[in-house]
Structure 1
Amino acid sequence: MSALIICNVSALRAIRWARQRYDVVPWEPVGRVEIRHALEDGAPNRDRIDWDVLRRYGFVGDEGADGGEPLHVLVGRDEDRRSREELCCHVQRRDLERGMLLRVEPGIYCASPALAAMQYARGRDLPEVFSLVMELLGSYTLPAEPTFGLARGDVWRARPGFLAPDNARQDGDEPVEQAHYRCAPATTLLELRRVIRLSASSNDRSMRTAVGLAMPGSASPGETIMAAMLGLPMRYGGFGCDQLPRGGMRLNHRIEFSGQAVNMSSGMPWAVCDAYIEAAKTDLEYNGIGHEQVNARIHDGNRNNGLRGMGVRVLVINRQQMQDIVALEAIAQSIYQEAGKRFRYRIENTRPRQLWLLNGLRRAAGLTPV
């Protein structure tokens, strides 16, 4: 019986589908022996592929197979590649380690989140790859449906689930924050580091850099953009706050309140900071759409009072400020000042680098450039 190993963007689509529905990726990791047998038997036969089964697991949707997007599959030898419009075959020449393939059901395998990320990232720019790594390490997932569109660089418009290239914009289609769903992290930094050891190719440079810079714990695409812009080193377009002493920037960091802080917060025992910078005793909060509701504003006010009672300064960044590089620079300068550090650029062409990073991050989430 031949095996079908689904990889790259097709595997990423299914991983998002599973995280959205089940909170976790539920498929079983397999060992080296089963991986080797699967690769040896992985000569895809289009006529034997049950597309309905693949749809049931989220590997394809209306946009896959009969909808124009090929199914990305992994094979172990060049002679096992198939030249079919419905299939895109990738050859795995180096041995995979335990857990790098997941058994979906007998005969159907999926690349692990870490392996799928490296396959998807090959040849892509750092901002897009960093966004994907942060998503897989974070407590959120993008929906499955726009995965192929995002891979092409399409933009998510105001109508739910609608993706369109920039030249297909319609009247009234204003860009908005992309939908996302809360879930458990899909992988770990350890797994990502294991995977990147499989390749020394220059095509995987962005993946190696992204894993080295990643900050686990992001809870939304907006938090990922905020963490990247304020946290990444200046040579990549960020403002370098993650390089400050005493732990740099920690995402979704929990602070236990003292008795006085509990009283100031109307009874809250602790608070979770979107991005906490210990050196500056500063909490960066990204205010997305959910924070605009009345109950959310009351909750945020109480928690901010509690943090003040702990000596923590709260800086709130809204969606408009996340599109304003000058505003982000001013916030970074304030953070450096509170940390007792001098803010200065040590590289040239900082604005083009910052714009490249910001627009790359936005493009990865399906948002229009600024």
Structure 2
Amino acid sequence: MNIYLSHISAWLFWIWWSKMNAIPLGLFHSGKCFARDRMPSFSLPTVSIIKNAAGSKREVRQILNANGQSVRQLLVRAGIGTGADGCLYVCVPYVKGRRCSEKNIHFHQVSCALPRRSFVKVAEGLYVASPELTFVQMASVLEEGALCACGMELTGGYPLDAEFRPDGEVVYVRAPVTSQTLLAAYADRYQGRGGTNKARRVTRHLCDKSASVKETELALLALLPRHYGGLGAKEALLNEVVTLSPEAATIARQKKVVCDLKFKDSNVVVEYDGATHGDAEARTTDSRRRDALRAEGYDVATLTNAQLQSPTEFQAIIVPASRKAGKRTRYLSECDMPRHRALRSQIARYHARGF
């Protein structure tokens, strides 16, 4: 008998998994971490058919308590509630008349055929909805702006919590568990209901390689179309590596630098100057990087956290930058502002785990 974790439980698992499988920052910047053989849906055993699923609280409890409670212990380590105060979200085959929920357990009935690699086996008796299926499932839980932020987190490499940081000088970040390409391909193949169309729409606008909550906010507020509440700026790449000329490398004191946001097919860059860059050494490094990019002919705009939080100041930086990059971008009108504020609220609620 098996448990098939879904929805919020699966989302919690992959957030934890990305921390447990942290990667060096250099590997993240290189983009090699997005190779398919590094993605859970391709590197771990998978199935697409739900077989012998635990369909009652009693059956779920049997699996949790089997084999020395190994499954229960794994879920507890992942922050997934299994006790009186927790709630498990699991998938089961559709059976007419089946109860959808019992105390502390939500059963999500699946009646459609699922695409390949829909569930990942992570332990004996425990399968988890793949990151791609998890994203589609979260579309029924989250508003569009929050779903965008969810996708950016799953395809990003956010900083590690202190308890997960390995010793040593090498900086590690959370491992991406999927990519924009994989999310879009899966959503197109998924035939179920409950947010599928929303997931398909959203995947078109996601970016890989967000390195922080603030970079996700910057990218979504700048790049999402206006009907989502974004500025509709030109497409961009996050954390793009630029190889410097010898002269620029002398300025930066390194051969390569990473641009926070670089508009595609242009030399226009937006650098986020956040609160984490408060010490003198970090500010000096940031200054050298910007000077090196300018020496290479890049147009560099700097965005502070205060400017990111102000719709007026944010537009004043992003709109001219997008225009320089080659896209006619308009400032938001009064009619646009309610959607823009709603987008900001949805992103903030997701990052505050307000769902």
- Calculate the TM-score normalised by the size of structure 1: 0.78
Residue aligning to 2:92? 75
| d(CA) in 1 for partners of 2:273, 2:334 | 31
Which amino acid letter does the alignment assign opposite residue 295 of structure 1?
E
The answer to whether the aligner puts 1:304 opposite 2:317 as a matched pair is no
Shift of 1:87: 1.0
2:319 touches 2:329 (CA, 8 Å); kept in 1? yes
The one of 247, 250, 256 aligned to 2:237: 250
Structure 2: tracts of 5 or more residues without a match: 23-37, 162-171
The answer to whether the aligner puts 1:21 opposite 2:12 as a matched pair is no
Shift of 1:139: 1.5
| Alpha-carbon spacing, 1:319–1:183, altered in 2? closer, same or farther (3 Å) | same
SS of the equivalent of 1:284 reads strand
The answer to whether the aligner puts 1:97 opposite 2:115 as a matched pair is yes
Residue aligning to 2:155? 137
Deviation per residue, 1:106-136 (Å, 9 max, x gap): 2211111111121122152111000000111
SS of the equivalent of 2:121 reads strand
The answer to whether the aligner puts 1:332 opposite 2:318 as a matched pair is yes
SS of the equivalent of 1:103 reads strand
C-alpha RMSD of matched pairs (Å): 2.8
| d(CA) in 1 for partners of 2:180, 2:248 | 34
| d(CA) in 2 for partners of 1:113, 1:19 | 11
The one of 37, 43, 50 aligned to 2:55: 43
Residue aligning to 1:167? none
Tell me the number of residue pairs that the alignment of Structure 1 and Structure 2 aligns: 322
- Calculate the TM-score normalised by the size of structure 2: 0.81
Which amino acid letter does the alignment assign opposite residue 95 of structure 1?
A
Which amino acid letter does the alignment assign opposite residue 56 of structure 1?
Q
The answer to whether the aligner puts 1:191 opposite 2:177 as a matched pair is no
Which amino acid letter does the alignment assign opposite residue 112 of structure 2?
R
Residue aligning to 2:33? none
2:100 touches 2:109 (CA, 8 Å); kept in 1? no
- Aligned pairs for 1:286-297 within 5 A: 286-297=272-283
1:129 touches 1:210 (CA, 8 Å); kept in 2? yes
Residue aligning to 1:30? 45
Residue aligning to 2:2? 3
| d(CA) in 1 for partners of 2:159, 2:74 | 16
Structure 1: tracts of 5 or more residues without a match: 144-180, 243-247
The answer to whether the aligner puts 1:361 opposite 2:347 as a matched pair is yes
1:218 touches 1:224 (CA, 8 Å); kept in 2? yes
- Aligned pairs for 1:94-133 within 5 A: 94-133=112-151
Deviates more, 1:20-29 or 1:85-94: 20-29
2:273 touches 2:302 (CA, 8 Å); kept in 1? yes
Residue aligning to 1:343? 329
